[in-house]
A and B are shown apart, each in its own frame.
Chain A
Amino acid sequence: EVQLVESGGGLVQPGGSLRLSCAASGFTFSTYWMTWVRQAPGKGLEWVANIKQDGSDKYYVDSVRGRFTISRDNAKNSLYLQMRSLRAEDTAVYYCVFSASGSYLIWDYWGQGTLVTVSS
């Protein structure tokens, strides 16, 4: 059974940092692009970043580029999102996602999400 389990969320002050993790199991992690998608409370979905199988290609939404870094450890079946210079508008549930079928740009597997709250 495919499982994606996010962790690392919490309350952080504006300007602070946080590192999210996603533990993957039930599939061959190293053969799939992985992605982070977020959802502000009561709002819609926003793609944040994705990373190629070997980590050689990474893409970011403009609003986080230069502040967030996506990375992965295939030996540990884990995906990460290092978040720096956090802003109130980064407050959201962050989902770890991937596609097991077809394009890596759409996602049929989602974790349960981890909540990041940026507030003083």
Chain B
Amino acid sequence: EIVMTQSPATLSVSPGERATLSCRASQSVNSNLAWYQQKPGQAPRLLIYGASTRATGIPARFSGSGSGTEFTLTISSLQSEDFAVYYCQQYNNWPLTFGGGIKVEIK
């Protein structure tokens, strides 16, 4: 099983600042990496797939990068609606696995 490790567990950021979220895979997942955003009481929302492709309707301030084992989600200028938990997911191997999540909170 591929283990996905996200860091840091919590990220404190001021509105308007840049946020950089990391995700590491225990073995290569090529570019088969997705990012989701989840707000309290809501279902997750797909942000990024293929490591760097934004899903439909996702603002350009969200960008993804990386391949192999190291991945990054960058939010260029945090808006109030971006404070949430972010999960990465690999879909290169069975079983499909998620990271533990990163909570982005207001500083």
Any chain B CB within 8 A of the CB of A111?
A: yes
Distance (whole angstroms) from the CB of A105 to the closest CB of chain B: 4
Size range of the chain B interface in the assembly: 20 to 34
- Tell which of B49, B95, B100 touches A102, judged by Cβ atoms closer than 8 Å: B49
Binding site secondary structure of chain A: loop
Given A59-B94, A106-B34, decide whether A45 and B89 contact each other with a Cβ distance below 8 A: yes
- Rounded to whole angstroms, the CA-CA distance of A103 and B29 in the bound complex is 15
- Tell which of B49, B56, B95, B100 touches A106, judged by Cβ atoms closer than 8 Å: B49
| Given A95-B43, A103-B49, A113-B43, 5 extra CB contacts under 8 A | A45-B89, A45-B98, A45-B101, A61-B95, A106-B91
Q: Could you tell me which B residues sit within 8 Å of A by CB distance?
A: 32, 34, 36, 38, 43-46, 49-50, 55-56, 87, 89, 91, 94-101
18 sample A-B contacts, Cβ–Cβ < 8 Å, listed by A number:
A44-B98, A44-B100, A45-B44, A45-B89, A45-B98, A45-B101, A47-B89, A59-B94, A95-B43, A95-B44, A101-B55, A103-B49, A105-B91, A106-B34, A106-B46, A108-B55, A108-B56, A113-B43
